[in-house]
Amino acid sequence: MRWRGTEPAVSERASFLAGGGELGGLMRAKDWSASPLGDAAAWPQSLRTAVSTCLASRYPMFLWWGPQMVNIYNDAYIPVLGDKHPGALGRPAPEVWSEIWDIIGPLARRVIEHGEATWSEDQLLHLEKRAGAPEENFFDFAYSPVQSESGAVAGLLGVVSETTGRVLGARRLTTLSEIAARTRGVQHVIDAATRAVGALECNPGDLPFAVLFDEDGAVLAHAGLRSADVPRVRTAVPVQEVLRRRAPEVVDVLPELVLPGDRPAPAKALVLPAEAGSATLALCCGLGRHRPLDAELHQFCELVAAAIGSAVADAAALEEERERARALAELDRAKTEFFSNVSHELRTPLTLMLGPLEDGLAGQPVDLDMVHRNALRLLRHVNGLLDFSRLQAGRIEAQRQAVDLHVLCTDVAGAFRSAVEKAGLALEVDCPSEPTLALVDAEQVEQILLNLLSNALKFTFEGSVAVRVRTEGGAAVIEVSDTGVGIDAADRERLFERFHRVQGARSRTYEGSGIGLALVRELVELQGGAISVDSTEDQGTTFTVRLPLAPDAPAAALEAPSGRAQAYVAEALRWSDAPADGGAAEGRGTAARVLVADDNADMRDYLRRLLSPSYEVVLAADGREALDLLRDGGADLVLSDVMMPRLDGFGLLRCLRENPATAHVPVVLLSARAGEEASVEGLDAGADDYVVKPFSARELLARVRANLELGAMRSAEATRAAEHADGLQRLLDQEHRITETLQRSMLPAVLADDPFTTVAGCYEPAQESLEIGGDFYDAIPLDDGRLMLVVGDVAGHGLEAAATMGQLRAALRSGVLHDPRPDALLGHLNALALGGDRPAMVTCQCVLLAADGLSADYAIAGHPPGLLLGPGAGVAELDRAAGPPLGVLGLASYRAVHVPLIPGSTIVLYTDGLIERRGESLADGQRRLRERAAALVGLEPADLGARLVRAERTDRPFEDDVALLVARVEAPGPQLDLELAADPASLAVLRRALRRWLPANGLDATEAYEVLLACHEAATNVVEHAYGLQGGPLHVHLEAGDDGVRVVIGDRGSWRSAREDDGGRGGHVMRGIMDEVRVDRGSSGSTVRMVKHRMPVG
């Protein structure tokens, strides 16, 4: 029957079905009498109301009515049903939704049986909108009960909204950020690839598996697959095709895969190109069975490929950066080694010139030969260095002309003959009888030969050195070969590198700076030639130099081997000198016996002449020989060079200390490796003293004498100790040494970097006893320009006191940052000294210099008062308001005292060891110090301190440690020059200096801040952009005149253009402040010049 024909019936019986869109029509058309709901005309009012609510809604809604849950829905719900519409109308819900009834059935039953409403959010349901194709969908839905007229629940009304789009979007966004998060800062390509692809495992719904291929199609990383399946996927997908065409490909047929965790294996995959910087990778994405490959999914896969590509590219960039940093660090290490060696090479001849000259000045006979020889040696080193740096800078040109190598080689080898034969080796020269003409610079080829020959001689102990000349393959060839120790393969590769030295090879001498062969290579290349090396360990080495042949031309006349050759040969001759007396001692009866070990024959001669008037001297050419000599006859003192072949000075020292028979022999090391580190290295190794070249004869003799006395005392103690408690004394000695090393290492090596205050500190350990440790000094710059000076003394001695001192100094530095007022600082330290894990009594004085240098505040905790020396003659004591020592009274309070200063004022702080004497009151000691200081007014702080210490020490040895700090405030002049390192730490130094200098030159607070800001921007740019990792210098120059302030800030770096825009921000600030700004940026550095005009007065 057709309802449409009976309109009045509709309006009467089924008016609730009026309207309702498509579904309204369908419902009107349906014959409900066959359904479980029966004829629509007979439906109860409750059902009618519910149906009309449902149909009238624009929101997707449905109604499940009656025990069978008959399904009625509205138009908005049609898309949820997909192909199930319109068949789903009037059918029981469990049939309509059979595929998900296990999930929604229980929910529906709860509503109907218990009348409870439900609410589900983002519920995952695999709907079969199309038969046989379950799809992943997400819904928010709410079920509400609908009551019948009797009040019982007769059905449920559902409201549903699909959230698939939102859920997928969020899930994909998470995946992308996961890739970024997991790969941030990763520095290895493989690591980045693995992490990036691994991040996809958080989204198996979209991407059940993924494989990343490199540019060649090899697998880089994979996720979601068993390893065994990876090659199968690889053969099934068109990786090469995608890499070549750089376009994505869909793969419809995949091999049978078993995914971990029984996830359904994908049926399809998408292979896409992934751009990783300059390389193109390929990403194969397995696609989830429950998601169609729509435009969104495709776009998502592209984003994933891009994210993975950029993660890999970033890691590659970081990896490259790190590799560059490593290479730079290696060059840096080689350079340091090089300078340390060069320093040795230059200082040794310098000592051997200065020593005899001093003798000459003192009216003694001078060994002019030795002075001359060493001057030549020094000249050769300096020339070598200069040549090399000129070559590096491309400033040497070859004056090439036709040269007969036959003549040249014969001459140079001839000059070397005496040195080779003296070493007991044969010299072979093999040249063809006809001339071999090469187009070269004769002098430079001579230099090449000299270097190769002296190298050969240095490393050859028996056999021969040969020079051969021949023509081969259109080139002139010179071969220099030896039967020496050879070079191992690893060193061969780096032999011609700058600064590289073959480590540990046996040689005649340790001499050599590591540029010889690099210089040779540069010189050979300058001739348009090439050099190679062939070597077998313990068999010998052959260097082959190929030089261009000259077209037929007359050979230029050659001069005799130059002065250069003379210097090389003279030196090589000395290598073979046996220790002058073959180790025989110069008999002197009861004189102390001193063993000298040095590989330089001149140095040995010099030391022997110096020492033999007073001591019995034994000579050794290296550490090994020294050990042999000691075994034979012993020695009272060993004086040894640090750098020697076979066994160096440190090795010798270790051997001596390990053997109980020689453990007590004092050892004095001689070296040119100046600086704190080296001497600590010596002390750690157990050397008794360390003399740095060049040294004066007097200084060396004094050190030898002092150490001989120490040795005598030590061996007497050693004997005594052996009688009593075995080894106790040695332990005490050792503690003494450790304490001193510790004490020294904890004091600041460099004092405050401040152009307007000259600060010098010194520490002298107690001379006579074991009472070392506990005294300290420090100068701490504050950011605002103030400077804190501190001297203190921890009661007690030894390791304990030194350790407490270390803790206090650390607390001091942090305390100053917290509250720099001297009284507050002492209060802070007092609490610490009382409450620390090692309670200690400490005396201390601290002085806080104002930023303008025109006043200071000080406070005292039981400490001898410091001195204030005026620029004139006056001396005052900083002795007011003394408080108790730290660590004694819990309620101690300290007061700060203000004193005015003027430029030139000098403050001297010290510990009581400086003035303390037996049988004398402290007041007398203070008076004496005051008088002595008054006589020294006007000296540089370092000099003043040294003289005070020396004057006090001449009276008697120090029985206690002495720490002394001298600071002089200077007046800022009209010019300021700062040489800083381009390092962020320098910025604070710059601010300190300018905060003092600018106001001192008449700028008011606002102007001073602005000029500081402009300078700071320029300096920050240099720190950030001028240099790579290796850093470099930053020059700051300011000049104040009547017309204003001029600033020049320069560097020697090369700016990376990529960062120019960044640098421009600072530029904006500079231009906003200064009246003139000019930036010159070149390849060898940049300079910023700025001017701030002075405001006209009034």
SS3 state at 654: helix
Burial of 381 (0-12, 13-18, 19+ CB in 10 A): buried
Distance of closest approach, residue 1073 Cβ to another protein, in angstroms: 7
By C-beta, is 245 or 1065 nearer to another protein?
1065
| CB of 1071 or CB of 1094, closer to another protein | 1071
Q: In whole angstroms, what is the distance from residue 107 CA to residue 118 CA?
A: 7
Please, which residue, 39 or 983, has the CB nearer to another protein? 983
Least distance (Å) between residue 1087 CB and another protein = 20
DSSP secondary structure letter of residue 1094: P
User: Which residues partner with 1048 through β-bridges?
Assistant: 1037, 1089
- Least separation in angstroms between residue 1006's CB and another protein is 6
* Nearer to another protein among residue 747 and residue 1070 (C-beta): 1070
Label the pairing between strands 906-910 and 249-251.
unpaired
Least distance from another protein to the Cβ atom of residue 1017, Å: 6
Cβ closest to another protein, residue 197 vs residue 1023 = 1023
Nearest distance from residue 40's CB to another protein, in Å?
A: 53
Complex with another protein: residue 751 or 1073, whichever CB lies closer: 1073
Q: Is 785 exposed, middle or buried (0-12, 13-18, 19+ CB in 10 A)?
A: buried
Three-state helix/strand/coil letters over 693-727: CCCCHHHHHHHHHHHHHHHHHHHHHHHHHHHCCCC
DSSP assignment string, 538-590? TTEEEEEEEEEBPPS-PPPPPPSP-HHHHHHHHHHHHHTPPPTTTT-----TT
Q: Residue 882 CB, nearest distance to another protein (Å)?
A: 30
DSSP state, residue 258:
-
Question: Shortest Cβ distance from residue 991 to another protein (Å)?
Answer: 6
What minimum distance in Å lies between the beta carbon of 1005 and another protein? 7
Which of 498/828 has CB closer to another protein?
828
Q: Are 931 and 974 in contact (CB under 8 A)?
A: no
Q: Which is nearer to another protein, 787 or 892 (CB)?
A: 787
**CA–CA distance from 408 to each of 436, 449, 541, 550 (Å)?**
10, 9, 22, 15
- Output 940 or 1004, the one with its CB closest to another protein: 1004
Smallest gap from Cβ 86 to another protein, in A, equals 46
314 vs 14: CA distance, rounded Å:
70
Least separation, in Å, of the C-beta of 122 and another protein? 22
Instruction: Name the amino acid, one letter, at 258.
Output: V
What residues have CB less than 8 Å from 410, skipping those under 6 apart? Answer: 429, 431
Tell me the closest approach of the beta carbon of residue 1012 to another protein, in angstroms. 8
Distance CA 233, CA 208 (A): 13
Query: Which of 856/1023 has CB closer to another protein?
Result: 1023
| Sequence-separated (6 or more) residues with CB below 8 Å from residue 543 | 452, 455, 479, 480, 481, 531, 532, 533
707 vs 241: CA distance, rounded Å: 81
User: Residues 65, 49: contact at Cβ < 8 Å?
Assistant: no
496-504: list long-range contacts, CB under 8 Å, 24+ apart: 496/520, 496/521, 496/531, 497/334, 498/334, 498/338, 499/331, 499/334, 499/335, 499/337, 499/338, 500/334, 501/337, 501/338, 501/341
Helix H or strand E encompassing 1076: strand 1076-1082
Name the β-bridge partners of 322: none
Kindly tell me which of 952 and 1017 has the beta carbon lying closer to another protein: 1017
Residue 993 C-beta: closest distance to another protein, Å = 13
In the bound complex, what is the minimum distance in angstroms from residue 820's beta carbon to another protein? 12
Of 561, 751, 593, the residue nearest 662 (C-alpha): 593
Place of tokens 């120059």: 1037
Provide the β-strand partners of residue 120: 141
- Cα distances (Å, whole numbers) of residue 89 to 24, 32, 439: 11, 11, 103
Contact residues toward another protein (CB under 8 A) are: 783-784, 817, 984-985, 987-988, 991, 1005-1006, 1009-1010, 1012-1013, 1016-1017, 1020, 1023-1024, 1065-1066, 1068-1069, 1072-1073
Contact 101, 127 (CB under 8 A): no
Q: Which of 902, 878, 908, 909 is nearest to 969 (CA)?
A: 902
Q: CB of residue 985 vs another protein: minimum separation in angstroms? A: 5
Residue (382 or 985) nearer to another protein, CB: 985
Q: Which is nearer to another protein, 521 or 1025 (CB)?
A: 1025
Segments in 140-188 forming alpha helices (H): 164-183
C-alpha 737 chain-centroid distance: 32
Nearer to another protein, 700 or 811 (CB): 811
Phi, psi angle pair for 528, to nearest 5°:
80, 25
Parallel, antiparallel, or unpaired for β 616-620 and 637-641? unpaired
- Pick 537 or 979: Cβ nearer another protein: 979
CB of 1084 to another protein, least distance (A): 24
Q: How far is the CB of 178 from another protein (least distance, A)?
A: 18
Closest CB to another protein among residues 176, 1069? 1069
Shortest reach from residue 750's CB to another protein, in Å? 13
Ramachandran angles phi, psi of 1013, nearest 5°: -60, -45
We find the least distance from the C-beta atom of residue 814 to another protein, in angstroms, to be 9
CA–CA separation, 897 vs 845, rounded Å?
A: 12
Strand, coil or helix: what is 639? strand
Between residues 625 and 1017, which has the closer beta carbon with respect to another protein?
Answer: 1017
